[in-house]
Structure 1
């Protein structure tokens, strides 16, 4: 069976990462979470005081330090899930906090950050057999991907999912704050100058607002089977 590239794009908190991980595991592909890469750069900025008091980034400082930011993924032997590493350190939990979520969009709008990470992503996909999710995979990173999926759901449903996820981890969370964060990220993602979030013309649309995980998995597997047998 031929190997393909699967590009999954869509809005924040749509469950893209979960579905991409599950699909990759089911078909024996490598999963790459590009959102985690931008979150890792954001965490680096927080830990190296590269945010100004008004929330903007010290761009020139970050630009000179991008060559020192190395992001990789390793499979957790116990969970069989990929774990994000920043310069050799496991940052999987730290990049999922609200502090990082609320600051990632300004980082992701920077052209030099996107260029650096897109280069890394394209290198990861040169042998195909990958599932990659993000905001611009089917439009910028892999415009020739054999299977492109664009995921959406209502902002309220996405905020509720994120709220439930944080509460399940025992973290304090405000639904209103999360909803505002989701809506603000949508606005920034769709209106940024560099690689704005949009559905590729040849992407298959998936609105998972009212789908169960099982229904989603079944739908994705059907799309995969169609794509590899073309």
Structure 2
């Protein structure tokens, strides 16, 4: 698949739990555009590396795993996470575990891995348009995106959302430990030397704290000029 630079891109960045996943899928479905869940690519790399027994300190080997990923994204009913296939195996649930998220955060700091995945992400830019969900979509991957949005929310709000999500999935988790993990991940992601988590200079900031999904979608649609 070759990148079509004429296709419009709505780049949506922000920390984990800000609502990017749900909002970007709803937006893509509403517009009939393609969807890129860039975070899943890092989680897939981490998962594939773990399955292959690759050392997480071996940047070159991790980059090779990233370059060879056999991945497919399949649409799901509104409100449900995107179905992700790794070499034909449905790994959607496994990708959403805290362990996989932590491993992905370690993988994402490596320049070699980011370079291996950069063109793959850009290849998702196809007509009629792309909604890209990530942490550096507007600052690194799609710097010329027609619209850049940065979604955020308080760490407490994001921990509560993740807590309810995990409970609904039948996973028992401690809310205080979850909040601590989120804060630690924020600190690591915002201060990494390669593509730190931050809004693009021309991004529109939307704080989702206390807002419903429908309220956030309305704000994003308005900010993107698609309302």
Calculate the TM-score normalised by the size of structure 2.
Answer: 0.90
Cα deviation code 1:45-82 (max 9, x no counterpart): 2222224xxxx533343234333322221224798863
Return the alpha-carbon distance in structure 2 between the equivalents of residues 115 and 128 of structure 1. Answer: 26
Contact 2:12 2:148 (C-alpha < 8 Å) held by counterparts: yes
1:36 equivalenced with 2:45 (yes/no): no
In structure 2, the CA distance between the partners of 1:174 and 1:146, relative to structure 1 (3 Å rule), is same
The CA deviation at 1:216 is 0.9
Return the alpha-carbon distance in structure 1 between the equivalents of residues 191 and 167 of structure 2. Answer: 31
Cα deviation code 1:132-183 (max 9, x no counterpart): 1101000100011011000111111101100110001111111122112111
Contact 2:108 2:114 (C-alpha < 8 Å) held by counterparts: yes
More divergent stretch after superposition (9-18 vs 118-127): 118-127
Question: Structure 1 unaligned runs (5+)?
Answer: none
1:129 alignment partner in structure 2 = 129
Contact 1:31 1:82 (C-alpha < 8 Å) held by counterparts: no
The CA deviation at 1:126 is 4.4
The CA deviation at 1:128 is 5.5
Question: Structure 2 unaligned runs (5+)?
Answer: 1-5
* 22, 27, 30: which one aligns with 1:18: 22
1:142 alignment partner in structure 2 = 142
Q: What is the alpha-carbon root mean square deviation over aligned residues?
A: 2.2
2:156 alignment partner in structure 1 = 156
Number of aligned residue pairs = 222
Equivalent positions of 1:1-230 (< 5 A) are 4-51=8-55, 56-76=56-76, 82-127=82-127, 129-225=129-225
SS in 2 for 1:150: strand
Contact 1:57 1:106 (C-alpha < 8 Å) held by counterparts: no
SS in 1 for 2:11: strand
The CA deviation at 1:87 is 2.2
Return the alpha-carbon distance in structure 2 between the equivalents of residues 187 and 57 of structure 1. Answer: 20
Calculate the TM-score normalised by the size of structure 1.
Answer: 0.88
Return the alpha-carbon distance in structure 2 between the equivalents of residues 78 and 146 of structure 1. Answer: 25
Contact 2:63 2:116 (C-alpha < 8 Å) held by counterparts: no
Contact 1:5 1:128 (C-alpha < 8 Å) held by counterparts: no
In structure 2, the CA distance between the partners of 1:210 and 1:221, relative to structure 1 (3 Å rule), is same
Cα deviation code 1:160-218 (max 9, x no counterpart): 10011000111111112211211111111111111111111110000111211121111
